[in-house]
Amino acid sequence: MAYLTLKNINKIYPNGFHAVHNFNLEIEKGEFIVFVGSSGCGKSTTLRMIAGLEEISSGDLLINGERANELGPRQREVAMVFQSYALYPQMSVYDNLAFSLVLQGVDEDVIEERVNKTAAILGLTDYLDRMPRALSGGQRQRVAVGRAIIRKVGIFLMDEPLSNLDAKQRVTMRSEITQIHRETGATTIYVTHDQTEAMTMADRIVIMRDGYIQQVGTPKELYFNPANVFVAGFIGEPPMNFVKGTVKDGKISFCGTKIDLKLKLKDKISEYEGKPIVFGFRPEAIKLGKQADSYVFNCDVELNEMLGDNTNVYIVSGDDRAILKVDPHDSPEVDTNIDFSVPYENVYLFDGETENVINI
């Protein structure tokens, strides 16, 4: 049995706005789950319903097999870390960490031991006497994480905890949170709009859009087997290239040329005769030049972005645009005409109407 079950959960706010639709998910003990999606897709609402900070309009929330809808936040054995840190400004780091244990009436010796251990895990040992205003953003965020893990609750909820940090601190804290999860083993639900955080931290990702789950899977599943255009475009940087076309006589138009769909594709694609279709390929899944067992395209180079480990090449052909990720030593000159190849096995096709993947 799953540790945490969300069954047909809906949230309709008092103003009538339906923010979360039929959310279904089972979470195993110890999993690190990431809810990811653009701003406003319902991530925080869902997290707050799990925390008990927001009423569940319909559906069932089970924690350890027991219905938890009616339990208050303190009875749910959850700890939450907010984007805003929410530290007590007039209390030292030590007192901030100790506060929830003091409220619970835990013995002072035990509190001291737990504060010291938590501070050690988070690299805060030398800062216990400081006030929050005398800490950097990263250190404050560590205190906020420490306040949650010190409670040793079963479920750890984090809502965009790194978004107030600069890019470098975010990368550091990302691996620290992953490490803390490994050490504590606490079931964690982590909310972010950042696909890189989702990909690097999650055991499983829940990708959301407009209050609906789009797909649930491991980072690898989402990257290699996206369920639809939205997921394919959300995961990966730069995103997957999409080209719209129509199937006619088993061929689709792309980069101004008609391409002949090969292999098994051809049978499958006959169902789509006369219908719109989306052809997808990842920027990193191409080879320059004309290669065997590939779809070969011709295009003009508009722009190069040299990023060090790779170059993003912006290409155009007719009305179609795409980005190719190439080795910087091989990057073609701007304003030249080039061929590139997409190996058959790196192609995705999507239904142009439903935007769902066509399994090929």
Site of interaction with ligand ADP (CB under 6 A): 13, 15, 17, 19, 37, 39-45
CB of 34 to ligand ADP, least distance (A): 12
56: how many CB neighbours lie within 10 A of its CB? 21
DSSP three-state, residue 13: coil
Q: Which is nearer to ligand ADP, 15 or 336 (CB)?
A: 15
210: alpha, beta or left? (left if phi > 0; alpha if psi -120 to 50): left
Question: Count of alpha carbons within 13 Å of 29, Cβ hemisphere only?
Answer: 8
Residue 228 bridge partners (DSSP): 356
Binding mask 46-85 for Mg ion (x = CB under 5 A): ----------------------------------------
Residue 215 bridge partners (DSSP): 207
What would you measure as the largest C-alpha separation in the chain, in angstroms?
Answer: 78
40 binds, among Mg ion, ligand ADP, none (CB under 5 to 8 A by kind): ligand ADP
Q: Which residue's Cβ has the minimum distance to Mg ion? A: 44
Find out whether the peptide bond into 238 is cis, omega within 30 degrees of 0: yes
Q: Mutual orientation of helices 167-184 and 137-149 as an angle, nearest 10°?
A: 20
CB of 44 to ligand ADP, least distance (A): 3
Among 11, 36, 42, 44, binds Mg ion (CB under 5 A): 44
CB of 334 to Mg ion, least distance (A): 40
Residue 6 bridge partners (DSSP): 25, 61
Q: Which is nearer to Mg ion, 159 or 320 (CB)?
A: 159
359 binds, among ligand ADP, Mg ion, none (CB under 5 to 8 A by kind): none
- Judged by CB under 5 A, does residue 45 bind Mg ion? no
The identity of residue 154, as a single letter, is: G
CB of 44 to Mg ion, least distance (A): 3
CB of 200 to Mg ion, least distance (A): 20
- Judged by CB under 5 A, does residue 294 bind Mg ion? no
CB of 23 to ligand ADP, least distance (A): 11
Q: Which is nearer to Mg ion, 39 or 336 (CB)?
A: 39
d(CA 218, CA 331): 32
d(CA 33, CA 222): 14
d(CA 24, CA 8): 5
Contact residues toward Mg ion (CB under 5 A) are: 44
